[in-house]
Amino acid sequence: MLHGKKVVVVMPAYNAGKTLERTYRAIPHDVVDEVLLVDDASRDHTVGEARRLGIRTFVHPKNRGYGGNQKTCYTEALALGADIVVMLHPDYQYEPKLAAAMAALVASDVYDVVLGSRILSVSALHGGMPIWKYVSNRALTFVENLLLGRKLSEYHTGYRAFSRRVLESLPLLENSDDFVFDNEMIVQAVWAGFRIGEISCPCRYEPESSSINFSRSVKYGFGVLAAAAQYRLARWGLARPRFLDAQGMKLGGARPE
């Protein structure tokens, strides 16, 4: 616990059997109270490995997509009584040890959302990020900062910490079940006025690290731009996107079907 707050790490998993143990062992278990893994119908031994390690595991019988996986992650974490939830990919791309620092920034009421930035650490390219991913990351982030009126170093990290209030307040069930879920969630947090901070995070790209291909990345990029554009239009009073509606569907402690 941190400042009397329960910390839960959630791991949205798909074919992460080769990297799960390394990721799990590096989590600061002296601070983290629970680790929860949601398997999205993996085709490898992810579930068996998670259970061998004693990780609380939930299994989707059918693949629901990256966003759909996170919806289950956050629903189950809230059901466990989490005050702070850290989302960490189990592919060992991000440094698990930083979960304590990220959770601390939320527990101390400095930020409501904390992002582990690969860009601030200047290790993205050194860690093996493909140059085309780096360039697209920087370009999309530049446009998003303009449209959202923020100065974040990146919007595309898969390492995030949230307060319980954020997860209960945002209409997360209105978001995509695909990869753009991540970006929509940040846009929602900005819209709702939550405080967003960043911490530099070393990263490593290895053969086992999860990554989407070029065509999926292009689709993701257009989704990112659409979310940011809808935010700007809503600010101007020209649109009312459902995913920014405060009355939209929330997790509310109920498990998504």
> Mind listing the pLDDT tens digit for each residue in 149-158?
999 999 999 9
Among candidate residues 63, 78, 50, 69, the one with its CA nearest the CA of residue 12: 69
As given in the structure block, the two tokens for residue 38 are 């949601």
Whole-angstrom Cα distance, residue 220 to residue 175?
13
Whole-angstrom Cα distance, residue 64 to residue 69?
6
Whole-angstrom Cα distance, residue 140 to residue 74?
26
For the stretch 107-135, what's the b/e string if a residue is b when 16 or more beta carbons lie within 10 angstroms of its beta carbon? beeebbbbbbbbbbbebbeebebeeebee
pTM of the model: 0.93
With a pLDDT cut of 70, the percent of the chain lying above it is 94
Residue 108: pLDDT band (50, 70, 90) is: very high
For the stretch 193-231, what's the b/e string if a residue is b when 16 or more beta carbons lie within 10 angstroms of its beta carbon? ebebbbbebbbbbeeebbeeeeeebeebbebbbebbebb
Domains of the chain with bracketed CATH: 7-244 (3.90.550.10)
What would the pLDDT profile of 215-252 be if each residue is shown by its tens digit? 888 999 999 999 999 999 999 999 999 999 999 999 97
Q: Is the pLDDT of residue 4 over 50?
A: yes
